[in-house]
Amino acid sequence: MAKVRTEDIIKEFDLELVSGEEGIHRPITTSDISRPGLEIAGFFHYYPAERVQLLGRTEVKFTEMLMRGERKYRMEQLCTDATPCIIITGGMDVPEELIEVSEIHSVPVLRTPMKTTGFSSRLTYYLENKLAPTTAVHGVLVEIFGVGVLITGQSGVGKSETALALIERGHRLVADDCVEIRQVDMDRLVGTAPELLEHLLEIRGLGIINVMTLFGAGAVRPYKRITLTIHLEFWDGDKQYDRLGLDEETVKIFDTEITKLTIPVRPGRNLAVIIEVAAMNFRLKRMGMNAAEQFADRLSDVMTEEESQFD
């Protein structure tokens, strides 16, 4: 199913529908926008018909210079079966020929009082967010000291209970159980909660609680960029866990590599405090302060000094 249709941008930007009402259900499949200046001048060899077509003052004024027959022919070539809509910016008058052919081919012609550059930027941002690749991950997304932390692990390992403890410590819940992740840029992943699960947290033995109702609006947020993944797993006595933090593991979601930490779970470990410290340490690393590397350098210096004493 199409994520965005022409009718969606009409509602989002309060656009005026001038003609072609029968085509308002056409799908928009790309966030790219076209300003068909060359096409109006007659060059249609590489016309990107599947894009939203934006006509600004330059394009409209140029059409006024054309003969009526030529102008109608160019407008007919603009209105293809793949064209989602044509938008006139700046509140300018729509060419009569465009209204005529758009009604014939059911291509919506819309109008906005906004200037071309500003409207183009807003529309591009809106379409990029709506059309971004999306996936769903089983886990919990919380904001800890400004860091978006995705907590994963098998069912029953304690993800939701840990999130509840973090909320009690002043951090914010984004999503529980199911996290919808969108790649809004090449290296930017944004997580949100499905509308059905927004603000809800499931605690085994207690049931479903509404975090915003219990802890206030400051305990939740609608979305957050994901920069750190923490995987919880039951303690395995035969497995060697990282004790220094020198080796950085990553997980790939779409085209983005995210830092991943694996934390073993067993009775007595305060997971909320551990994850909170992990988020703070992650921030320090991004600021250039790596405690593990500093320890390794100190250890190397001590070993060098001891070796020099025996020489």
pLDDT recorded at residue 217: 93
The question of whether 243 is a catalytic residue gets the answer yes
Q: What is the pLDDT confidence band of residue 192, given thresholds at 50, 70 and 90? A: very high
Q: What is the dihedral of CA 142, 146, 148, 154, to 10 degrees?
A: -40
The pLDDT of residue 48 is: 94
Q: Is residue 304 part of a domain?
A: no
37 falls within a domain = yes
160 is in an annotated binding site: yes
Mark whether 125 and 26 lie in a shared domain.
yes
Say if residue 1's pLDDT is above 60: no
| pTM given for the model | 0.74
3-state SS, the chain, equals: CCCCEHHHHHHHHCCEEEECHHHCCCECCCCCEECCHHHHCCCCCCCCCCCEEEECHHHHHHHCCCCHHHHHHHHHHHCCCCCCCEEECCCCCCCHHHHHHHHHHCCCEEECCCCHHHHHHHHHHHHHHHCCCEEEEECEEEEECCEEEEEEECCCCCHHHHHHHHHHCCCEEEECCEEEEEEEECCEEEEECCHHHCCEEEECCCEEEEHHHHHCHHHECCEEECCEEEEEEECCCCCCCCCCCCCCEEEEECCEEEEEEEEEECCCCCHHHHHHHHHHHHHHHHCCCCHHHHHHHHHHHHHHHHHHHHC
What pLDDT, on the 0 to 100 scale, is given for residue 275? 94
Same domain for 190 and 98, yes or no, is no
Q: Determine the pLDDT at residue 209.
A: 93
Is 159 in the active site? yes
User: What is the reported pLDDT for 2?
Assistant: 55
Average pLDDT, the chain: 89
Whether 302 maps to a domain, the answer reads no
Question: What's the pLDDT at 249?
Answer: 86
Task: Please list, in sequence order, all residues whose beta carbon lies within 8 angstroms of the beta carbon of residue 124, skipping any fewer than 6 positions away.
Answer: 31, 33
User: For the segment 108-125, what is each residue's pLDDT rounded down to a tens digit?
Assistant: 999 999 999 999 999 999
Are 203 and 226 in a shared domain?
yes
Domain co-membership, 243 together with 290: yes
pLDDT tens digits, 23-49: 999 999 999 999 999 999 999 999 999
Would you say residue 204 has pLDDT above 90? Answer: no
Q: Is residue 153 part of an annotated ligand binding site?
A: yes
Whether 88 is in a domain gets the answer yes
pLDDT(163) > 60: yes
pLDDT of residue 245: 64
- Per the domain annotation, does 121 fall within a domain? yes
Q: Are 141 and 177 in contact (CB under 8 A)?
A: no
Domain membership flag for residue 311: no
- Check 11, 45, 239, 243 and give the catalytic one: 243
What does the pLDDT average to over 90-101? 92
> Is the same domain home to 34 and 122?
yes
Given the residues 71, 74, 159, 182, select the one marked as catalytic. Answer: 159
156 carries a ligand binding annotation: yes
**Whether pLDDT at 301 is above 80:** no
What domain range is 200 assigned to?
134-295
CATH number at residue 222: 3.40.50.300
In 172-187, which positions are buried (b, 16+ CB within 10 angstroms) versus exposed (e)? Answer: bbbbbbebbbbbbeee
> For residue 194, what pLDDT is reported?
92
Kind of pairing between the strands at 147-153 and 228-234: parallel
Same domain, 46 and 114: yes
**What integer is the mean pLDDT of 239-251?**
74
The catalytic position among 5, 105, 177, 283 is 177
Statement to judge: residues 262 and 207 lie in one domain: yes
- Does the annotation place 154 within a ligand binding site? yes
How many domains, in total, are found in the chain? Answer: 2
252 classed as catalytic: no
Picking from 262, 264, 261, the residue whose alpha carbon sits closest to that of residue 237 is 264
* pLDDT at position 60: 92
Same domain, 209 and 121: no
Is 102 annotated as contributing to ligand binding? Answer: no
**68-72, 82-86, 238-242: segment of lowest average pLDDT:** 238-242
Average pLDDT over residues 234-244: 76
Question: In what side-by-side order are the strands of the sheet with 109-111?
Answer: 16-19, 109-111, 86-88, 52-55, 33-34
Range among 8-12, 41-45, 238-242, 284-288 with highest mean pLDDT value: 8-12
Q: What is the pLDDT at residue 266?
A: 86
Same domain, 109 and 138: no
Which CATH number do you get for residue 97?
3.40.1390.20
